[in-house]
Structure 1
């Protein structure tokens, strides 16, 4: 699934290639992963745009996309989890944050 996130002035189109979101099972004693749950996310930046000081839109060169993904990986992942969690709340009918 593709999401649009904004990180450090870049508007990024990010494709989630793998998402594992297993909620904790507090009654389970099989393993730590079962008890605490797990969250894993893999993504690929598909495209990016930015704006200069005059507000003119500029496309980011596709060769720079892996550099952006590496440099802002944690911020991108946090923004993606925010979008994924919001989508899950909308789908389940829970609108409260």
Structure 2
């Protein structure tokens, strides 16, 4: 499933390739894991003019220790929002 997330001034189209969500129970903690590919991105200059993000820069963002946690957090926010709107079948 593809999501649009905004991270540090980038508007990214992100495809979720793997998703695991184990809810907490009485005997174990819950966990959430997601794997993704960044398909495309747009950034805006100081005048608000959109510019496409080059593929090389997208690769750097998708593997950066700085950006990956932010992308994952934004993805979970979007995944949870879609579940609230459309039910559990939306994820």
Fold match by TM threshold 0.5: yes
Q: Deviations over 1:32-91 (max 9, x none)?
A: xxx112211101100001011111111011121110112311100000001111111223
Instruction: Give unmatched runs, 5+ long, in structure 2.
Output: none
Q: Which runs of 5+ in 1 are unaligned?
A: 29-34
Is 1:55 matched up with 2:14? no
Moved runs in structure 1, 4+ residues, more than 4 A? none
| Higher Rg | 1
Instruction: Compute the TM-score of the two structures, normalised by the length of structure 1.
Output: 0.81
CA RMSD of superposed structures (Å): 1.5
Please give the residue correspondences for 1:45-84 in structure 2 after superposition, counting only pairs within 5 Å: 45-71=38-64, 72-84=67-79
Which residue number corresponds to residue 42 of structure 1? 35
Alignment size in residue pairs? 86
Structure 2 length-normalised TM: 0.86
